[in-house]
């Protein structure tokens, strides 16, 4: 058996920033510390922070008045921020800057009188936060077929935005369909799908040629991880999205020669290495790392965390 270890894989700059922010907040403020939704969509990361004293909530109203509340990497709607202010919570914003970019675009288009088509998945934390920037302006579009049922005409001012963790191919199909039906539609000057999502998809696209199976490390509620497994399957390759080595089924590997291993943008490297060790121990697998793109993106911690850490001379995570 040969393992092709995809690079880049795992944590992106936004996930690193969010995790470092929560680690530093715990050191500054102690526990319990509250987090609105999962800090990132990964079971291992969330479980670790629960053990360290973080409390994950789905309602700001469940946070005691005056407590520290951290907004997750996926971003939140303005209404959530207003409730936090009303409850006198000490809010720390760990929203990924690439999600913030989409929020700013949403506000700009809404103020200019555009109806905004948001390409994304209903119920995803990022989609809820983005649509919350201008609730009356948005229409969610989940697939290309939905474009044909949109109740707009040639005289409507229309714009589109996308969730940052979509399949590049799926988003392109929907955007092309929107442009074909509504030639007047406008979009952001720069792609909304984040660099890390695109790079990990490109790695799977290139490395899956000739592979027998693709293992994607990531949780089931991770959109970008789901897209990696879907991409491999669309290319006719068997693919499994797993949280760790304990979910590997030996029946997957009868006659298997080449395994591609990658990880979604919120999956820790430790779970990747656990899977590599699992395959090495059972199949004497060799490992070849394949680098498709170099990544050097870095996002600084939120200014409120940097200022608080500097005030007490606390080294930041």
Verify that 232 and 270 share a domain, yes or no.
yes
Question: Tell me, what's the pLDDT at 100?
Answer: 97
CATH number at residue 52: 3.40.50.11270
Last residue in a domain, options 181, 214, 248: 181
Verify that 176 and 104 share a domain, yes or no.
yes
Verify that 173 and 244 share a domain, yes or no.
no
Question: Tell me, what's the pLDDT at 287?
Answer: 98
Q: Is residue 189 part of a domain?
A: no
Tokens encoding 314: 């606390």
Which of 140, 129, 123, 127 has the alpha carbon at shortest distance from 94? 129
Which band of pLDDT confidence, cut at 50, 70 and 90, is reported for residue 316?
Answer: low
Q: Is residue 190 part of a domain?
A: no
Taking 3-state DSSP, the helix, strand and coil percentages for the chain, each rounded to the nearest 5, stand at: 45, 20, 40
Verify that 199 and 285 share a domain, yes or no.
yes
Which band of pLDDT confidence, cut at 50, 70 and 90, is reported for residue 309?
Answer: confident
**Is the pLDDT at 243 greater than 90, yes or no?**
yes
Last residue in a domain, options 152, 181, 210: 181
Q: Mean pLDDT score of the chain, rounded to an integer?
A: 96
Verify that 224 and 281 share a domain, yes or no.
yes
Question: Tell me, what's the pLDDT at 273?
Answer: 98
**Is the pLDDT at 276 greater than 70, yes or no?**
yes
Considering the entire predicted model, what is its pTM? 0.94
Question: Tell me, what's the pLDDT at 317?
Answer: 59
Verify that 202 and 233 share a domain, yes or no.
yes
Last residue in a domain, options 153, 181, 209: 181
Verify that 286 and 202 share a domain, yes or no.
yes
Portion of the chain with pLDDT greater than 90, in percent? 93
Q: Is residue 132 part of a domain?
A: yes
Question: Tell me, what's the pLDDT at 315?
Answer: 72
Verify that 114 and 90 share a domain, yes or no.
no
Which band of pLDDT confidence, cut at 50, 70 and 90, is reported for residue 212?
Answer: very high
Contacts (Cβ under 8 Å, ≥6 apart) of 2 = 257, 258, 259, 285, 286, 287, 288
For residue range 40-71, what is the model confidence (pLDDT) as tens digits? 999 999 999 999 999 999 999 999 999 999 99
Question: Tell me, what's the pLDDT at 116?
Answer: 98
For residue range 99-145, what is the model confidence (pLDDT) as tens digits? 999 999 999 999 999 999 999 999 999 999 999 999 999 999 999 99
Q: Of 126, 142, 230, 288, which one is the catalytic site residue?
A: 126
**Is the pLDDT at 297 greater than 80, yes or no?**
yes
How far apart are the C-alpha atoms of 227 and 167, rounded to whole Å? 6
Verify that 201 and 284 share a domain, yes or no.
yes
Domain boundaries, position 266 = 2-11+195-291
For residue range 62-109, what is the model confidence (pLDDT) as tens digits? 999 999 999 999 999 999 999 999 999 999 999 999 999 999 999 999
Q: Is residue 81 part of a domain?
A: yes
Verify that 279 and 199 share a domain, yes or no.
yes
Verify that 260 and 285 share a domain, yes or no.
yes
- The yes-or-no answer on residue 126 being catalytic is yes
Question: Tell me, what's the pLDDT at 255?
Answer: 84
For residue range 15-46, what is the model confidence (pLDDT) as tens digits? 999 999 999 999 999 999 999 999 999 999 99
Question: Tell me, what's the pLDDT at 108?
Answer: 98
Averaged pLDDT for residues 142-159: 97
Question: Tell me, what's the pLDDT at 191?
Answer: 87
Q: Is residue 165 part of a domain?
A: yes
Count the domains in the chain.
3
Q: Is residue 186 part of a domain?
A: no
Which of 295, 297, 300, 298 has the alpha carbon at shortest distance from 310? 300
Question: Tell me, what's the pLDDT at 307?
Answer: 83
Q: Is residue 282 part of a domain?
A: yes
Tokens encoding 50: 């629960």
Which of 116, 158, 161 has the alpha carbon at shortest distance from 134? 116
CATH number at residue 122: 3.40.1010.20
Q: Is residue 262 part of a domain?
A: yes
Verify that 206 and 272 share a domain, yes or no.
yes
How far apart are the C-alpha atoms of 238 and 303, rounded to whole Å? 44
Tokens encoding 204: 């799977």
Answer whether 193's CB lies under 8 Å from 253's CB.
no
């Amino acid at each position: 058996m040969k393992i092709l270890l995809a690079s880049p894989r795992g944590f992106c700059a936004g996930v690193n920033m969010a995790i470092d922010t929560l680690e530093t907040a715990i050191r500054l403020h102690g526990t319990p510390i509250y987090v609105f939704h999962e800090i990132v969509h990964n079971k291992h990361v969330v479980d670790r922070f629960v053990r360290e004293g973080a409390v994950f909530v789905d309602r700001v109203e469940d946070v005691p008045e005056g407590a520290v509340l951290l907004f997750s990497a996926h971003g939140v709607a303005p209404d959530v921020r207003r409730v936090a202010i009303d409850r006198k919570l000490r809010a720390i914003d760990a929203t990924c800057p690439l999600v913030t970019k989409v929020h700013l675009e949403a506000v700009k288009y809404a103020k200019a009188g555009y109806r905004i088509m948001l390409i994304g998945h209903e119920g995803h934390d990022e989609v809820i936060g983005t649509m919350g920037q201008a609730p009356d302006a948005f229409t969610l579009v989940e697939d290309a077929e939905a474009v044909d049922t949109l109740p707009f005409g040639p005289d409507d001012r229309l714009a589109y935005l996308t969730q940052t963790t979509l399949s590049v191919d799926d988003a392109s199909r929907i955007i092309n369909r929107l442009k074909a039906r509504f030639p007047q539609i406008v979009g952001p000057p720069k792609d909304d799908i984040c660099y890390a999502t695109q790079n990990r998809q490109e790695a799977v696209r290139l490395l899956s040629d000739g592979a027998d199976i693709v293992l994607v490390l990531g949780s089931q509620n991770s959109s970008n991880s789901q897209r990696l497994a879907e991409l491999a399957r669309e290319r006719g390759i068997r693919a499994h999205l797993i949280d760790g080595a304990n979910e590997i089924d030996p029946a997957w590997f009868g006659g298997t020669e080449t395994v591609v291993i990658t990880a979604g943008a919120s999956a820790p490297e430790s779970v990747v290495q656990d899977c590599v060790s699992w395959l090495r121990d059972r199949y004497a697998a060799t490992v070849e790392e394949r680098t498709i793109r170099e990544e050097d993106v870095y996002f600084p911690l939120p200014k409120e965390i940097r200022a608080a850490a500097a005030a007490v001379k606390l080294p930041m995570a």
